[in-house]
Amino acid sequence: MVRTAIFNFYNSMVMRKMVLLLLSIASFMHEVHALPNFDDATDRAVHPSQKVYPNPASNYVVFEVDLAAEPKGCFILIQDIAGRVLKQLIVSAKEQQLVLDSREFAPGTYSVLLQNHGATLQTKKLVIRQ
């Protein structure tokens, strides 16, 4: 009888914990679904984007930039793994496409930084193969 009482007590405690866990998961899922869903146009207007292709590159690389603000001191910087700036491309429009001859770089991995107003907006990796 004592064993049954302990067993029932233990099971009720486990059940309570499981119910609390399920309720907290349900609450979290409700909060996640309640977040605003920005459409693509709104997202582009608020968040800058930078596309780098083809990646890996062998002859050329294309940089597509879509800024959220007007460019002011806007650059695409290409850095080696030591952080040295090897190339600086000027971005002069909110939406711009720049093409670079990648044959002037040794094969390897580089960082591509998009900077505007003195702040780094995005960093991408670029792999160059010959």
pLDDT digit string (tens) for the chain, length 130 residues: 656 655 565 566 666 776 666 667 766 665 544 444 444 444 444 578 889 999 999 999 999 999 888 888 899 999 999 999 999 999 999 999 999 999 999 999 999 999 988 889 899 999 999 7
Tokens of 105: 């770089």
**Do 57 and 109 reside in the same domain of the chain?**
yes
**Do 48 and 95 reside in the same domain of the chain?**
yes
**Do 29 and 77 reside in the same domain of the chain?**
no
**Do 5 and 63 reside in the same domain of the chain?**
no
Domain that holds residue 82: 44-128
Residues 129 and 121: beta-carbon distance below 8 Å: no
**Do 62 and 95 reside in the same domain of the chain?**
yes
**Do 3 and 48 reside in the same domain of the chain?**
no
Provide the CATH number for the domain around residue 60.
Answer: 2.60.40.1930
- How many domains are contained in the chain? 2
Q: What is the DSSP letter of 33?
A: H
**Do 28 and 79 reside in the same domain of the chain?**
no
Q: How confident is the model at residue 46, as a pLDDT?
A: 57
**Do 95 and 55 reside in the same domain of the chain?**
yes
**Do 6 and 23 reside in the same domain of the chain?**
yes
Q: Which residues contact 59 (CB under 8 A, 6 or more apart)?
A: 101, 102, 103
**Do 15 and 48 reside in the same domain of the chain?**
no
**Do 57 and 120 reside in the same domain of the chain?**
yes
**Do 115 and 66 reside in the same domain of the chain?**
yes
Distance CA 116, CA 72 (A): 6
